Amino acid sequence: MSVAVLLITHDKIGQAVLDTAAKIIGEMPLNIKRMGVSMTAGLEETLDKAHAQIVQLDEGQGVLVLTDLFGATPSNIARQLHTGNIAVISGLNLPMLIRVLNYPRLSLPEMVEKAVSGAHDGIIVIQSAGETDA
């Protein structure tokens, strides 16, 4: 058993990030699903769907929920999930998901740390405004 992952994002963002990660990683080492939230989605219906996904995914080690934008509908839905052992992180990016997938045997608290460090470490200034190659 391992921690499962649920991506709750705007529309198809989660699917795009997951598809890209799959091309890089290959076979998914974790049980992972995504849930796209449309701009017209009803809150109660979407929250019920998210609860069902959590119940389906959790094999006893918990579920890491990753959302794309803090304060937006997907993260607001994730914040209202009180089903089982979950952790919620906002700011989903590809380095975050790759880091999570590279450490499938971690506990939920350890995976939270890896996810946040992956997201943070994946942000690198390659060139600042006004810089030129010499």
- Average pLDDT (40-68) is 94
Instruction: Classify burial at 16, counting beta carbons within 10 Å of its beta carbon; exposed 0-12, middle 13-18, buried 19 or more.
Output: middle
Biggest alpha carbon distance in the chain? 57
Residue 133's pLDDT is 66
Answer whether CATH 3.40.50.510 is correct for domain 4-121.
yes
- Hey, where are the domains in the chain? 4-121
pLDDT at res. 54: 96
Residue range 14-43: average pLDDT? Answer: 95
Q: What are phi and psi of 66, to 5 degrees?
A: -115, 130
Residues 67-99 pLDDT 10s: 999 999 999 999 999 888 999 999 999 999 999
With a threshold of 0.85, does the pTM exceed it? yes
Is residue 92 exposed (0-12), middle (13-18) or buried (19+ Cβ within 10 Å)? buried
What share of the chain in percent tops pLDDT 90? Answer: 87
User: Cβ–Cβ contacts within 10 Å for residue 54, how many?
Assistant: 22
